[in-house]
Amino acid sequence: MKSSSNDSVEVLKEIAEAKSETLEMIYRNCYLPVQRLVINNSGTYADAEDIFQDTVTIVFRRARHDELQLFSDTNICTLLYAIARKLWLQKLTYLKREIAVGQEIEGVFEMPQAIENEIAGLESMKQRICQKHFLQMTEKCRLLMKLFMKGLKMKEIAEIMDFETEDQAKTTKYRCKKDLANRILNDKEYKALL
CB 169 within 8 A of CB 141: no
pLDDT per residue as tens digits for the range 119-141: 666 777 777 888 888 899 999 99
Q: Which CATH number fits domain 1-112: 1.10.357, 1.10.472, 1.10.1740, 3.40.50?
A: 1.10.1740
Cβ of 81: how many Cβ atoms within 10 Å? 22
**Running DSSP on this structure, what letter comes out for residue 101?**
-
User: Cα separation of 178 and 171, whole Å?
Assistant: 11
Mean pLDDT by 10 residues, the chain (194 residues): 52 73 85 91 86 85 70 72 86 60 45 65 77 90 88 90 92 90 82 65
Q: What rounded mean pLDDT belongs to the chain?
A: 78
**Running DSSP on this structure, what letter comes out for residue 98?**
-
Determine the pLDDT at residue 101. Answer: 44
What are the domain boundaries of the chain?
A: 1-112, 136-194
CB 109 within 8 A of CB 74: yes
